Chain A
Amino acid sequence: MDKVLYVAMTGARENMLAQQTHANNLANVTTTGFKADLEQARAMRAFGDGYPSRVYSMSERPATDTTSGTLMETGRDLDVAINGSGWIAVQSGDGTERYTRGGEFQIDITNTLVTGSGLPVMGNGGAPIVLPEAEKVTIANDGTISVIPKGSPVNELVVVDQIKLVNPENGTLWKGDDGLMRTNNLTPLPADQLASLRAGYLETSNVNAVGELTSIISLSRQFEMQVKMMKTAEDMSSAATQVLRLA
Chain B
Amino acid sequence: MHGALQVAKTGLSAQDTNLKVISNNLANVSTVGFKKDRAVFEDLLYQIRRQPGADSAADSQLPSGLQLGSGVRTVSTQKNFNEGDLQITDQTFDVAINGKGFFQVVQPNGEIAYTRNGQFHLDGENRLVTAEGFLIEPAITLPAEVQNFTVSNDGIVTVITAASAPASQTLGQLELADFVNPQGLQAIGQNLFLETPASGAPTLAIPGEQSTGILKQGMLEGSNVNAVEELVNMITTQRAYEINSKVISTADQMLSFVTQQL
Contact = CB atoms under 8 A, between A and B. Distances in A.
A62 B56 contact: no
Contacts of A44: 56
Contact of A216 (B69, B183, B198, B247): B247
Given A175-B46, A223-B254, A63 B70 contact: no
Contacts of A19: 2-4, 250-251, 254
Interface string A206-235: 000100110011001001100110110010
B7 A24 contact: yes
A146 interface: no
Interface stretch (A86-94, A109-117, A156-164): A109-117
Contacts of A75: 82
Contacts of A29: 11, 240, 243-244
B247 A26 contact: yes
Interface in B170-210: 180-181, 183-184, 197-200, 209-210
B217 interface: no
A227 B262 contact: yes
A22 B4 contact: yes
Contacts of A108: 181, 184, 198
Nearest to A59: B66
Contacts of A106: 78, 181, 183
Interface string B81-96: 0100000000000000
B181 A230 contact: no
A21 B69 contact: yes
Contacts of A61: 64-68
Contacts of B3: 16-17, 19-20, 23
A177 B198 contact: no
B211 interface: yes
A24 B69 contact: yes
Interface in A69-101: 74-76
B42 A177 contact: no
Contacts of A102: 42
Of B56, B80, B183, B254, the most chain A CB neighbours within 10 A belong to: B254
A74 to B, nearest CB: 8
Interface stretch (A31-39, A120-128, A191-199, A236-244): A31-39
Contact of A24 (B38, B68, B262): B68
B105 interface: no
Nearest to B236: A30
B63 interface: yes
A65 interface: no
Contacts of A118: 75
A230 B237 CA distance: 39
Dominant SS among interface residues on chain A = mixed
Interface in A158-177: 174-177
Contacts of B46: 175-179
A151 B178 CA distance: 12
B68 A178 contact: no
A236 B111 CA distance: 78
Given A27-B11, A209-B239, A116 B78 contact: yes
B161 to A, nearest CB: 37
A117 B42 contact: yes
A228 B209 CA distance: 76
B15 interface: yes
A152 B227 CA distance: 35
A75 B70 CA distance: 31
A28 B239 contact: no
Interface stretch (B26-34, B47-55, B113-121, B149-157): B47-55
B231 interface: no
Nearest to B76: A116
A58 B181 CA distance: 49
Contacts of B18: 30
Contact of A76 (B10, B47, B82): B82
Contacts of B64: 60-63
A78 to B, nearest CB: 9
Given A30-B236, A107-B181, A179-B46, 6 more contacts: A27-B69, A76-B80, A107-B183, A116-B78, A148-B211, A177-B48
Closest 10 CB pairs of A and B: A27-B11, A24-B69, A20-B3, A23-B4, A135-B211, A23-B7, A179-B43, A116-B40, A31-B41, A177-B46
16 contacts: A16-B4, A23-B247, A29-B243, A31-B42, A34-B43, A58-B50, A61-B68, A62-B64, A104-B78, A109-B200, A177-B47, A179-B42, A179-B43, A213-B243, A223-B254, A230-B261
